[in-house]
Amino acid sequence: MLADKRILLVISGGIAAFRALELIRRLREQGATVTPVLTKAAEEFVTPLSVSALAASKVYRDLFDLTDEAEMGHIELSRSADLILVAPATANIMAKMAQGLCDDLATTLLLATDTPVMIAPAMNVRMWDHPATQANLVTLQDRGVQLVGPDAGAMACGEYGPGRLAEVPAIVDAVISHFAAGPLAGKRIIVTSGPTHEPIDPVRYIANRSSGAQGAAIAAALRDLGADVEFVTGPADVPPPAGVAVHSVQTAQQMLDAVQSLLPSDAAVCAAAVADWRVKGASDQKIKKDGSGTLPVLEFAENPDILATISQGKLRPGLVVGFAAETQDVMAHATAKRDRKGCDWIVANDVSPETGIMGGTQNTVTIIDDQGAESWPDLPKAEVARRLARRIADALA
Catalytic machinery residues? 157
Give the single-character DSSP code of 351: -
Which amino acid is present at 299?
Answer: E
128, 205, 231, 323: which one binds ligand CTP (CB under 6 A): 323
User: Of the ranges 33-41, 151-159, 270-278, 381-389, which one interacts with ligand CTP (CB under 6 A)?
Assistant: 270-278
77, 122, 191, 324: which one binds ligand CTP (CB under 6 A): 324
191, 252, 365, 389: which one binds ligand CTP (CB under 6 A): 252
**Contacts with 205 (C-beta within 8 Å, 6 or more apart), sequence order:** 197, 198, 199
Cα–Cα distance measured from residue 61 to residue 331, given in angstroms and rounded to the nearest whole number: 56
Contact string 181-210 vs ligand CTP (x = CB under 6 A):
-----------x------------------
322, 381, 385, 388: which one binds ligand CTP (CB under 6 A): 322
Residue in the shown chain whose Cβ atom is closest to ligand CTP? 306
Nearest approach in angstroms of CB 337 to ligand CTP is 6
Contact string 120-159 vs ligand CTP (x = CB under 6 A):
----------------------------------------
DSSP 108-169: HHHHH--S-EEEEE---HHHHHSHHHHHHHHHHHHTT-EE--PEEEE-TTS-EEEEEPPPHH
Among residues 94, 134, 142, 137, the alpha carbon closest in space to that of 384 is found at 142
Cα–Cα distance measured from residue 181 to residue 188, given in angstroms and rounded to the nearest whole number: 14
Nearest approach in angstroms of CB 338 to ligand CTP is 10
Nearest approach in angstroms of CB 225 to ligand CTP is 21
Tell which phi-psi region holds residue 155, choosing left (phi > 0), alpha (psi between -120 and 50) or beta.
beta
CA distances from 30 to 1, 107, 148, 182 (A): 5, 27, 18, 19
Site for ligand CTP in 25-84 (CB under 6 A): none
Which amino acid is present at 172?
Answer: V
Closer residue to ligand CTP (CB): 107 or 196: 196
User: Of the ranges 44-52, 237-245, 317-325, 369-377, which one interacts with ligand CTP (CB under 6 A)?
Assistant: 317-325
Nearest approach in angstroms of CB 364 to ligand CTP is 15
Nearest approach in angstroms of CB 228 to ligand CTP is 21
Closer residue to ligand CTP (CB): 150 or 212: 212
Strand 188-193 and strand 151-154: pairing?
Answer: unpaired
Residues in the chain: 397
Report the SS3 class of residue 204.
coil
User: Of the ranges 50-58, 108-116, 219-227, 320-328, which one interacts with ligand CTP (CB under 6 A)?
Assistant: 320-328
119, 172, 221, 274: which one binds ligand CTP (CB under 6 A): 274
Nearest approach in angstroms of CB 366 to ligand CTP is 13
Residues 14, 41: contact at Cβ < 8 Å? yes
Size of the site for ligand CTP (CB under 6 A): 15
Residues 171, 149: contact at Cβ < 8 Å? yes
User: Of the ranges 5-13, 31-39, 137-145, 302-310, which one interacts with ligand CTP (CB under 6 A)?
Assistant: 302-310
Nearest approach in angstroms of CB 274 to ligand CTP is 3
DSSP 288-336: PP-SS-PPP---EEEPP-HHHHHHHSTT--SEEEEEEEESSSHHHHHHH
Closer residue to ligand CTP (CB): 57 or 352: 352
Closer residue to ligand CTP (CB): 104 or 350: 350
272, 319, 330, 393: which one binds ligand CTP (CB under 6 A): 272
- The per-residue b/e assignment along 79-91, b for 16 or more CB within 10 angstroms, e otherwise, is eebbbbbbbbbbb
